[in-house]
Structure 1
Amino acid sequence: MTPRTADRPQMSVEEFEQIARAAPETVRMEFINGRLRVKSVPDGDHGAIIMWLLKQCMQQRPELALYPDQGLKVEGYRKGRARPDGSLVPEDHFVGEGEWADPEGVLMTVEVTSHDWDTDQRDRRDKRDAYAAADIPVYLLIDRDECTVTVHADPEGGKYRSLTSRPYGAVLEIPDPVGITLETEKLKDYTH
């Protein structure tokens, strides 16, 4: 492997994909900002939050599907590979796609923070910027450390221009093209 410098990633995308294919199922890998990242395996509260959100999406937008852990090619950000906790797309959008799908047509990506040492850099910065660079219209961050739900929207020039953050318990409007309303009181049940 080539050492990483400010202008050179740790490895090529092809090298990353080879490593990711060989990894055991208990390890989730991503390649963001030219760096190999290992995601924590989700705990029960993390999974419950994803299921809560999945139900909200299905009730309000039944023509859409929230796919957990579908890998995305976030090419605009140093030929990265991200595995969002959820990707909201039209139903059957990922049919025929491989492990790493094109982000075209993804309406929203979702991350639920994990209680690990690099969640600040990974979920609050690197992935936000990668999704904006890939022109994904909405990035929803459910932050278990801060007990907040944050909507990043309106990507332009690799950055989200709109940011709305509310504490657990508040009502949060997710803008078009998602167009759903989240009543987040239930998230308080998943804070431990």
Structure 2
Amino acid sequence: MILMTDRPQMLTEDFEALARIGAREVEGLRLEFIDGKLGVKAVPDGDHDRIVLWLARLCMQHRPELWLHVERGLKVQEYRAGRARPDGSLAPDDAFVGQGEWADPAPVLMVVEVTSYDSDTDARDRSEKPRAYAQTGIPVYLLIDRQNCDVTVYSEPDGGRYESVRTVAFGKDVELPDPVGITLPTEPLKDWVR
């Protein structure tokens, strides 16, 4: 059997149909389509949810005109052929009004992923998604890594990758650069890891 790595597993339209069916048939099933590959996103645990809510509160305190939209489906990658469902998308409050399940990422200032304790986290959150989000032109990608107990801030997308990558251990403050412009205190994250 020959594996074609330069071709997607399916067409984007076929993925969207599959995602709609899967969401109806299997509660909690969250599908993504990155680099032409179908991916299943782990159902979040309580600590994962707590981190996203904590971050949403911080963002609203510092930038009340923005919301951290949870699990908003975005069209990502070159030609918007990929489909991602970040844990959070920081954008104006009405950024996705009138859009379908997979929204235009243009108004997104930052996407957030909180790692899950599954075997795909390394490839998905640390490799595939930074590339997909950079190709899309999303200014900031925040990765809250519960396995490594650190936070990585990706910024300055050049169309293929992020030029700036900064990682700090939980407990240190980290700057979320413009256009976000928030200092993130990471000390509380220590309480929400295994």
Query: TM-score, normalized by length of structure 1?
Result: 0.96
- Which has the larger displacement, 132-141 or 24-33? 24-33
Find the aligned partners of 2:163 and 2:77 in 1 and give their Cα distance. Answer: 20
- Structure 2 residue aligned with 1:155: 157
| Alignment partner of 1:187 out of 164, 178, 189 | 189
- Asked whether the 8 Å contact 1:4–1:10 carries over to 2, the reply is no
Q: Deviations over 1:4-45 (max 9, x none)?
A: 612110000011011100012310000000000000100000
- Asked whether the 8 Å contact 1:32–1:78 carries over to 2, the reply is no
Q: What is the RMSD computed on CA atoms of the aligned residues?
A: 1.3
- Structure 2 residue aligned with 1:46: 48
Paired AA for residue 19 in structure 2? A
Aligned residue pairs, count: 190
Find the aligned partners of 1:64 and 1:141 in 2 and give their Cα distance. Answer: 19
Find the aligned partners of 2:32 and 2:11 in 1 and give their Cα distance. Answer: 13
SS at match of 2:78: coil
- Structure 2 residue aligned with 1:138: 140
Paired AA for residue 137 in structure 1? P
| Alignment partner of 2:89 out of 87, 90, 95 | 87
Q: 1:176 to 1:44 in 2, by over 3 A?
A: same
Q: Structure 1 residue 37 and structure 2 residue 36: aligned?
A: no
For residues 97-176 of structure 1, the aligned pairs below 5 Å read 97-176=99-178
Q: 1:77 to 1:160 in 2, by over 3 A?
A: farther
- Asked whether the 8 Å contact 1:135–1:156 carries over to 2, the reply is yes
Q: Percent identity?
A: 60
- Which has the larger displacement, 20-29 or 39-48? 20-29
| Structure 1 residue ranges without an equivalent (≥5) | none
Find the aligned partners of 1:4 and 1:29 in 2 and give their Cα distance. Answer: 22
Find the aligned partners of 2:50 and 2:59 in 1 and give their Cα distance. Answer: 14
Paired AA for residue 13 in structure 2? E
SS at match of 1:115: coil
- Structure 1 residue aligned with 2:8: 9
Find the aligned partners of 1:42 and 1:4 in 2 and give their Cα distance. Answer: 32
